[in-house]
Amino acid sequence: MRRVLLYFFLIPTIIFSQWTWINPSTTSNTILKIRPISESEIIAIGSRGLILRSTDKGDTWQKIDSKTNAEYYAMSIVNPNTAWLLGNNYATDRNTILKTSDKGKSWEVAAEINSNPTCNWDNEELYKINFVNEKIGFICGRNRVGDVSYGRIYKSIDGGYNWSLIFDEPDFYIHNMS
């Protein structure tokens, strides 16, 4: 019985003790997604506008100014230079899309969804962004109208600056795409 208890307490300690916080210094932001953009470069995104970039396989990290306070939770990378982030700025209730063309060194607001003139995106819950090349991209999500949820897919043909609704189906739930 002693041996079983020893293993019960010792094994988790050994397994979980292999993780150490390297860099950046402890932050109150939550990291929600980490993706490599090249063999040595990594982008991490998260709450309160968090964008982190590493150029040395994660040994060191640089905080990048997103110029927003959005919670970024989805990322699409088409090549080492070009990527998009999808997030929600809960303070303004706007979905925000950021774009980089310089390996994540700087980001620009490509679109703020609820202000997009080609779509009425009020009450939208957007979940995933996926670009197939530098111009054509898709976003999936849903819109609630009363008790009915409409599954939606939007398409951009200009690099994420403008979006058109291409699928809108009641009682249909789209949470992911690839």
Percent with pLDDT over 70 in the chain: 78
pLDDT in the model for residue 173: 76
Give 147-172 pLDDT, tens digit per residue.
Answer: 888 888 999 999 999 999 999 888 88
Please answer whether residues 113 and 132 qualify as being in contact, where contact means their C-beta atoms are separated by less than 8 angstroms.
Answer: no
Q: Is the pLDDT of residue 177 over 70?
A: yes
What is the band of 83 on the pLDDT scale with cuts at 50, 70, 90? very high
Q: Is the pLDDT of residue 1 over 80?
A: no
Fold of 32-170: Methylamine Dehydrogenase; Chain H (2.130.10)
pLDDT in the model for residue 4: 46
Half-sphere exposure of 18 (CA within 13 A, CB side): 5
- Please state the rounded mean pLDDT for residues 105-130: 75
Task: Tell me how far apart the alpha carbons of residues 51 and 107 are, in angstroms, rounded to a whole number.
Answer: 9
Which residues, listed in sequence order, are joined to residue 44 by a DSSP beta bridge? 34, 52
Please answer whether residues 84 and 107 qualify as being in contact, where contact means their C-beta atoms are separated by less than 8 angstroms.
Answer: no
pLDDT in the model for residue 12: 55
pLDDT in the model for residue 153: 92
pLDDT in the model for residue 5: 45
pTM of the model: 0.80
Domain residue ranges in the chain: 32-170
Please calculate the CA angle 55-53-106 and round it to the nearest 5 degrees: 110
- Please state the rounded mean pLDDT for residues 21-47: 82
pLDDT in the model for residue 92: 72
3-class DSSP state of 152: strand
Question: Who wins on pLDDT, 96 or 13?
Answer: 96
pLDDT in the model for residue 17: 52
Percent with pLDDT over 90 in the chain: 51
